[in-house]
């Protein structure tokens, strides 16, 4: 019985060591995944900002240099990167 117990104990210790290695590896992989997701989030946010800037420039140019009419709406003037808008004569 004593020999059986020692063998079982040795197996249990070996399995616990393997589990600790697996947990350490999983923890490292989780950190890598978080970092990767953070970088992806920044890239997607940057693309959204870039697309917004391109759209803003497109509409500004269409109104300022175009016929002052866009999607059926007439505009008196256009100013780049305006944060507030107001309607003339109204």
Summarised one tens digit per residue, pLDDT across range 48-80 is: 778 878 888 888 888 778 777 777 888 877 777
Whether residue 1 is predicted with pLDDT greater than 80 in this model: the reply is no
- Examine residue 88 and state whether it is found in any structural domain, yes or no: no
- Please determine, for residue 26, whether its predicted confidence score (pLDDT) is greater than 60: yes
Domain-located, residue 12: yes
In terms of residue numbers, what domain contains 28? 2-74
pLDDT for the residue numbered 51: 80
In-domain check, residue 87 = no
On whether residue 65 sits in a domain, the answer given is yes
How many residues are listed for the chain in this entry? 90
- Helix segments in the chain, DSSP class H: 2-64
**Is residue 44 pLDDT above 70, yes or no?**
yes
When pLDDT is averaged across residues 19-23 and rounded to a whole number, the result is 95
% residues pLDDT > 70 (the chain)? 88
The answer as to whether 22 is a domain residue is yes
Tell me if 57 is assigned to some domain.
yes
- Domains of the chain: total: 1
| Nearest C-alpha neighbor of 75 from the set 52, 84, 62, 55 | 62
82 assigned to some structural domain? no
């Amino acid at each position: 019985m004593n020999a059986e117990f020692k063998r079982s104990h040795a197996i249990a210790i070996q399995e616990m060591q393997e589990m600790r290695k697996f947990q350490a590896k999983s923890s490292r992989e989780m950190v890598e995944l978080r970092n990767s997701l953070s970088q992806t989030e920044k890239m997607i946010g940057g693309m959204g900002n870039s697309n917004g800037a391109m759209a803003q420039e497109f509409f500004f140019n269409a109104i300022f240099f175009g016929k002052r009419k866009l999607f059926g709406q007439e505009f008196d003037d256009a100013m780049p990167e305006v944060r507030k808008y107001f309607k003339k004569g109204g």
